[in-house]
Structure 1
Amino acid sequence: MDKLKIHHIAIICSSYERSKHFYTTILGFQMINETYREERRSYKLDLSMGNHTRIELFSFPEPPRRQSYPEATGLRHLAFQVNNIEEWVTYLESKNIKVEEIRIDPLTEKRFTFFSDPDDLPIELYEA
């Protein structure tokens, strides 16, 4: 049996244009395919980062807000590996994105920090 691999992460956003800008222009994901589904009044945007990370960004009319607490059941956060965490923090802050203080993971001794997407989905930067 083949080993499982993550194929994609699906995100429902409240503002399609704002989230599209955030994931493409700010984070640098490449657009693979953009589809408007009339019957659902919904966009589906396929994004990629190299050959490893794929995000499906969805919009729906008036989606309910998801309650997000750090220790709640469900998806806790997305994590992206970076080579230079300070560069990313400086870059994100230049785009007026609030970034938490850089911390050290006590188990791996690697540096990490968090920021949020336009819908407050927590995103982690984890230094290689």
Structure 2
Amino acid sequence: MAQINKQTGTYNPFLIADKLNIEVHWKNIYPRPFGETFYYGEQPIIMLSNSIKDSTERYFVLAHELGHVIEHQGLSAYYTSNSRFHNKTEDEANQFAIKLLTNLYVEENEKLPDSYLELHYMYGFPNWYE
């Protein structure tokens, strides 16, 4: 995580995507997924659903997709053909998003969040606590 910050100067997923030249496009994707990563040759392109454009959830979804791009480079074919690996990479992308956005919280507030709910409201963390 520190390497990303060193390279981009931020933990904000939108700024990270911009600084790493990762295209982010908003599309009508219904009902799910809220985000998807595609590759044009070697270049990743992240699609985000218009349904979350004005929601805090856009932070978590983009951070999750960045997790796939940064942590799982070159694994897209294997990812889609192996359900066990698919579940593992989804968990890893969620963990990446949690770490990235927790660091963003610290970057913006100069302190750790008081609770998971705070991260849920600020960055759209999933309702795993329910």
TM-score range, shorter chain: under 0.3
Larger Rg, first or second structure (1 or 2): 1
TM-score (norm: length of structure 1):
0.25
Q: Which has the higher helix share?
A: 2
